[in-house]
Amino acid sequence: MPSAHQACHLGFIEHKNAAVAALWAFLSCLIFAASAQAQVTLLVPSQPSVEAPAPRPKAEAPAKREDKKDEKRPQEAKVAAAKPDQPADPAAKQLDQNPAENKPAANGDTAPADAQAKAEQTQSTAQSAAQSPAQAAAQAATEPQIDEELDVLITMMRPFQYEGLVMDMPQMFAVLRYDNATPVKDGVAQPERRDLLGDLEEIRYLNQKAWGANVALTKPGLYQFIIEGRPWWDAAHGRYLQHYVKTTLPVYGVERGWSLPVGQRFEIVPLSRPFGLTAPAMFSGTVLMDGKPLAAASVRMARINTEKRTVPTSWHEDIAARTNGKGEFSFVLNQPGWWCCMASIPGDPLKGPDGQPKPLQMGALFWLYVDSLSSETRKR
């Protein structure tokens, strides 16, 4: 039987353990709440890729009937017998058709005529030579036209909770198109750029204000959609947040351009192809700040939890890592669906609601889709 001192000591330990357990529970709630409040800017097309339609099988030609051939041969023989003999040489045929033009000219008129003909021929040859490069360039610039379209969704959300958040219109929204003919200047690819901010329409997604655009695709290529969000006030953490977001869309089998930076101030550039993936799949990339690799940057991967599955702890909601000295990172994505890769760094302070400088948290986001082995319907 324990003494009074031992009983008091054991009571103190039990009280201490209870306090520690309560503290850990409180901290866990804080961590879970902070994770639950994680916000990302969604930028995804209505389908992860646009494939060229399968070629139609050629209709088999009907079998030729031998009896028809046999009937045709006597008729051809009759026609050939009725025709007069023709010269085999085309030049001889021309002589027969133009006898007057082939008579020698009198009194030395042949030389001027020949000289004039040679001059006209030389001029014609020169014109043809001058037009050939232009025609070749025009022919090379001719690209196959397609008639495709898709919808692009932009909104704010908590991916694991599958909750929508109100989002203001971004301050920049554009698409870049790459293909095998994309020119390169000073070692930098020069893709076609199309501004899409004016195409945005206010919509509803997950019962919250969002933005959508219908985008026409008239040429095959690798399309990179990019947006620059407006800084917004995060009252819960007393700071501003700003996201630079992009995603890729291969159209008709073109993949050139997925590994090229788009020139965002804060950007994630894939090192592994970000489409055509099947879970489990590896995704690796480089974090760039002002075009330079960023070491020791915090990077997370989060999946849109459309099934609203529960997890044991808040750490299971996403995957976290830090970039190496070259700004590189790698993740294994073990589930199908839309995944968001997000790097975060502090930015320059902005004036807060009270007029005082407030911290700015910048995020570089990259969205990619992972298929399942069963090729289930792609959801977002």
User: Residues 64-87: what's their mean pLDDT?
Assistant: 49
Confidence at 61, pLDDT banded by 50, 70, 90: low
User: 374-377: long-range contacts at Cβ-Cβ below 8 A with a sequence spacing of 24 or more?
Assistant: 376/336
Question: Would you state the pLDDT for residue 60?
Answer: 59
Phi-psi category of residue 290: left, alpha or beta, with phi > 0 → left and psi -120 to 50 → alpha: left
pLDDT, tens digit, 9 for 90 and up, residues 13-35: 344 444 434 433 343 333 334 44
Name 323's Cβ contacts closer than 8 Å, sequence gap at least 6: 286, 287, 293, 294, 295, 296, 297, 299, 329, 343
Name 170's Cβ contacts closer than 8 Å, sequence gap at least 6: 41, 154, 197, 200, 211, 227, 228, 229, 230
Name 349's Cβ contacts closer than 8 Å, sequence gap at least 6: 357, 358, 359, 360
User: Residues 34-53: what's their mean pLDDT?
Assistant: 85
Indicate if the pLDDT at residue 158 is higher than 50: yes
CA nearest to 224, candidates 255, 184, 253, 185: 255
Please measure the distance between the N-terminal and C-terminal CA atoms of the chain and give it in whole angstroms: 64
Q: CA–CA distance from 258 to each of 269, 273, 369 (Å)?
A: 8, 7, 14
The position carrying tokens 């200047």 is: 185
Confidence at 8, pLDDT banded by 50, 70, 90: very low
User: Residues 73-84: what's their mean pLDDT?
Assistant: 48
pLDDT higher for 203 or 65? 203
Token pair, residue 57, equals: 């099988």
Question: Would you state the pLDDT for residue 111?
Answer: 44
Question: Would you state the pLDDT for residue 54?
Answer: 83
Confidence at 144, pLDDT banded by 50, 70, 90: confident
pLDDT, tens digit, 9 for 90 and up, residues 216-250: 999 999 999 999 999 999 998 999 999 999 999 99
What radius of gyration, in Å, describes the C-alpha atoms of the chain?
A: 36
CA dist 276 and 48 (Å) reads: 9
pLDDT, tens digit, 9 for 90 and up, residues 165-224: 999 999 999 999 999 999 999 989 999 999 999 999 999 999 999 999 999 999 999 999
User: Residues 74-95: what's their mean pLDDT?
Assistant: 45
Confidence at 71, pLDDT banded by 50, 70, 90: low
Question: Would you state the pLDDT for residue 351?
Answer: 95
Question: Would you state the pLDDT for residue 57?
Answer: 72
Question: Would you state the pLDDT for residue 255?
Answer: 95
Listed by start position, the domains of the chain span 1-36, 41-47+143-371
Indicate if the pLDDT at residue 148 is higher than 70: yes
Q: Would the pTM count as exceeding 0.75?
A: no
Question: Would you state the pLDDT for residue 380?
Answer: 54
pLDDT, tens digit, 9 for 90 and up, residues 104-118: 444 444 444 454 544
Question: Would you state the pLDDT for residue 55?
Answer: 80
